[in-house]
Each structure stands twice: as C-alpha cells, then as structure tokens.
Structure 1
C-alpha cells in the first residue's frame, strides 16, 4: 500500500549507476578485451548520453555520479567508471579521439571538487596520473577508429568510451609486496590478445609515462599520442 504522505517512485528516474544503459553497450568491449581481470570487473556508468545536449552538458550530469563512485570505491570494490560519448565523430580518427579525451579530462579536471588541477602542469612525466576527487585514476579509451586487430578495438560500436579506473582497483589484484603485475600475468595478457588476433603493444606496459597509455596509436611503431597537446574542445 502506498503511504499517502509519500510520493510514488518516479518511473522516469534513471537506473542506478551499476545498471546504467551505457554499461550494456560497453559490455562487448569489457568482455572482449582479453584482459584476465575484465570479465569480473565491477563498473558504474555515466547517465545515458543525450544527443540533444552538448557534450559538456552531458558531462556535467556525470560529475556527481563520479563523486559518488569515489565514495563507494573502497567499500564496494569498484573497478571503473564508464563515460560514453554517442556518435562516431568523437572517435572517428586517433586525432579526434585525442581531442575528445583532452576535452573530457579537461572538463572533469575543471570541475574537480579537490581542485587538483592535474592538467595544468607537466603531463609527460613519470609521476603524472589523472586525478579527481582526491583519487588517482588510470584512463583507457576505446573508439571506432581502432580496427579489429587493435587492443583498443570498439567492437563495431559507433560510440567512444573512456574507462576511468581508480588505482585501488589495480592494487587489489596484486599479491603482497607487488607493485606491478608479475611477468607471467603480463605475458598471459599479451598471449591472449595474440591468440585472438589482436596485437598488444608491449611498450605501453613498460613506458615511463602514464599519459602515453591513455590514447594508443593505430600502429605499434607510431610515436606516442600526445593528446594533451590537442585543443581541449570536442570534434
């Protein structure tokens, strides 16, 4: 029976972030990346992308959820927050993806409640990592520009994704005393990619700069993609 003093639940209210529609669309990427940890990962997703609104307006709706995600990361063992941009233009080329990535991370940095201003200093350095809300994150990008043989392949989806992973999600899979994935695990990841026809650039795992790992070049022999040097505006 409905309490007469209580309004009925809003049928139009968005789903909880662990059931966000973007997660279902991202699932082919999550399950197809051949990472040994990906299938069991616990993700939250940003609100559904509204094509009638600007990218900035869509991101503004994601900021409060990202703050909540940080609050729940440790208690709920969360592994990542998915930001989805609908439309192929955001990732139609590596250049477009680099620009999109810079625009997204710049927007989040500018709305960081901890005001870390992580994009306003030197980015190409060993100690740099994207920061928001007092936490540090790894960032991976997946986009239509990558072919099926690429480790960042988007599995035919006409959307671009930024997977924002808190550092604690990485340390949880390490054994006591480890600071990086042991060589046998890294080798298994590379072997799984190769067995499924996807190359995995080993330089990305050993390169000194986290910024180089965020947007991967199409060719393993190509130079690093310096996305932070592109305009921080959406293509």
Structure 2
C-alpha cells in the first residue's frame, strides 16, 4: 500500500458518508483533541507502546482529515503549499531512525493546540479580526498530520493502521446525529447539489457549501431563521482565514407556496431578518431608499455578500433554473472573499462577462441589472424589468 494524502482524504470522506462520523456526538476537532490527550497519557517508547499508539495516531489522522473535509480544504494542495510531499511514501518523511514516541507526541500536542483555539473562535460570538493570532485551518491541519506521521516508523505501518481503522467502521451502525450541528452536512447543501453539477458557472462543481439546520415546519419563519444564526455567524467568522464558498438556505414551498409572488415575499422576509440581525444597521430593517443607491452592497458582519435565488418557478431557459430540484426555494449567500479567490481584481469583469456568455451559449440568458439589489431575485423572463421585492412590507 502506497498512502497518498488525497487518497486518504477520499477514503475518510467515503467512510463518513457511509457510516457517519463514528466519533459522534463529539465534533471532529474535539475527538482529535481527545486522541492527542490519550497519546500523552500512553507515554512510553517500547515496541508495545508504539503499537498501541498506532491506533491513536491513525484516529488523529482520520479526525484531522474529516475536519479538513468539513471546511473544504483540499489536503493535497495544502501540503504542496507547505512544501511537503503529498505522496506519503516520500523518503524525506521517513528518517532511518523513527522519532521517539514521546517526542512525536510532544510535536503533535503543539500542532493540535492552534486548531483547538481556532475552532473555539469559530464557535464563539467574537467578531472577525478580534484575535489577530488565529491562523487558517488550511495551514494548521497539515502541521497536525505531519506531526502524526512522525509517530509511525514507516509508511507501511501508517497504511496498516489506517486500513484497520477504516475496516473497523464497517460493522458499526450509522452514527447517531451529532450533538453539535455540522453545517457542511446540512440538508440544503444536499438539495443544491444538482444545481451545482448542472449550472454553467465553471466554479460551481467544486464549491464548498454550508447550510443551517433543516427547516422545522412546526416553528415560525423567524424561529427557523434564529436557529440558523450560530451556523451563519460561524460561516462569516471564518472568512478572514479559511473560505467556504457559500451558505445555502432552503425554504419548503409546501409552507410558503410556490408562486413567484410567494417567492418574492419569502425573500423580502429573509433579507429583512438578516438586515436586522447581522448588519451594522441592526436592529434596523432594510431601507429601500438606501438599498437602491448605486453604491449599496449587502454586508453581513463585515463581509460583502451576493445572494443567488433559485426557485421551481424559474423555467429551463433561465440562469436560476433548479435542474430538477423541487419543493424548495433556495437562497445562496456568496461572500465576496470567495468570489475574488477565483476572479482576481484585474480579471474580475472580463471573466464575469465570460461566465454570463457561458449561460447564454447554453440558451440561458443572463443579463446584468444596473443595481446590486436587483441582481439577487431575478425576474421570470430576461427582458422583464427588475423585481422590486424590497418595496414589499416584511411580514416577520
């Protein structure tokens, strides 16, 4: 067996998709910290200790990889950026004498601490920039993985331990629901997937998306939106370090109706709630006079965001067509930080125009409204005037 970080990441992704996170109800980062603590307690350095530690080290690797999956971090690219080999058989990773286990555990403990601190920040109510010493998970997780590798004597031993660990999950019942909601596994992320795969946007298929808890039809719209706040705030807080490409809401049409007028009212309420809770103007609502200023952009907790609205009422020749997804309105927040990662300042407008031409070449016309606020909820036909949804009275 010749382990490669990309193949390990794919194997962990399959395992979690098949069985769920076997460490539930703990989230992956808490489980990772527990495994590091177990290694410290094991101590020692003889053959028996090293063999017993192999399981803990493999579990650290799986937990770190699962955390990378949840944050959309391609580990092969992260290793390359750190100037480390993604092929884990590379000779430079395996010195002639393996690192003594206590020293390897000390290195791993030091590498895991910044991950704990960053994840604590993500779960907090702190605003972006409030802790300048925080680092991106994309830079921290390779450090954890490299430290865990140092606890193995060879890549063969690494491969054997990972095989045993992955095989041990076969007979497990699917893990119970996590006690902490995982936004990367939200129902809305599953619902939007066909749109991601079929749209003419060249970046959509590889986009990493998060979402809120599933819409609870026994609760009010406002209560459901309140339930989404911890996840969407966490999404916005990570953007000055790691970048998730979008945050997706899904609203069932059996609750709200399925006409275009129904869509416009739900979107008006959606924007009103976000404005009252996540903008600098909070608790003030959305002011149409300000929002129709050509200089206006939608800024949530310091992050400029675009919103794409998809609905079953959009026909097949529309850029917001649902590609077979039914029964929901889907609203996707796209932070500017995610857009400028793929469209740099110099080529932003030419490449944006090229993307719209891709839609038009696919017989889905995509004209660009003059005002930012008119680009969120598009009319049913390309030649229709902008939808003045913001003039509706909110019904929260």
Q: TM-score, normalised by structure 2?
A: 0.51
Q: Deviations 1:51-87 (Å, cap 9, x if unpaired)?
A: 1111111111111111100111232221111011112
For the residue of structure 1 that corresponds to 2:306, the secondary structure is: strand
Q: Is the 8 A contact 2:25 2:180 kept in 1?
A: no
Task: Indicate the residue corresponding to 1:3 in structure 2.
Answer: none
Aligned-residue offset at 1:177: 3.3
Aligned-residue offset at 1:168: 1.0
Relative distance call for 1:144 and 1:88 in structure 2 (3 A) is farther
* 1:159 to 2:175 alignment: no
Listed as ranges, the gaps of 5+ residues in structure 2 are 1-23, 27-175
> RMSD between aligned alpha carbons?
2.3
Looking at structure 2, the residues matched to 14 and 196 of structure 1 have their Cα atoms a distance apart, in angstroms, of 41
For the residue of structure 1 that corresponds to 2:290, the secondary structure is: coil
- Going by fraction, where is helix more abundant, 1 or 2? 2
Q: Deviations 1:90-113 (Å, cap 9, x if unpaired)?
A: 462322222111100101111226
Looking at structure 1, the residues matched to 180 and 250 of structure 2 have their Cα atoms a distance apart, in angstroms, of 16
Looking at structure 2, the residues matched to 132 and 227 of structure 1 have their Cα atoms a distance apart, in angstroms, of 19
Moved more, 34-43 or 83-92: 83-92
Relative distance call for 1:50 and 1:208 in structure 2 (3 A) is same
For the residue of structure 2 that corresponds to 1:181, the secondary structure is: helix
Q: Is the 8 A contact 1:118 1:131 kept in 2?
A: no
Looking at structure 2, the residues matched to 186 and 114 of structure 1 have their Cα atoms a distance apart, in angstroms, of 29
Q: Deviations 1:166-190 (Å, cap 9, x if unpaired)?
A: 1111111123534x331xx345423
Q: Is the 8 A contact 2:194 2:323 kept in 1?
A: yes
Relative distance call for 1:118 and 1:177 in structure 2 (3 A) is farther
Looking at structure 2, the residues matched to 221 and 88 of structure 1 have their Cα atoms a distance apart, in angstroms, of 29
Report 1:1-235 matches (<5 A). 9=25, 11-12=176-177, 13=179, 15-88=181-254, 90=256, 92-112=258-278, 114-115=280-281, 117=284, 119-120=286-287, 121-156=289-324, 157-175=326-344, 177-178=346-347, 180-182=348-350, 185-201=351-367, 204=368, 207-233=369-395
- Radius of gyration: which is bigger? 2
Q: Is the 8 A contact 2:265 2:392 kept in 1?
A: yes
Relative distance call for 1:75 and 1:213 in structure 2 (3 A) is same
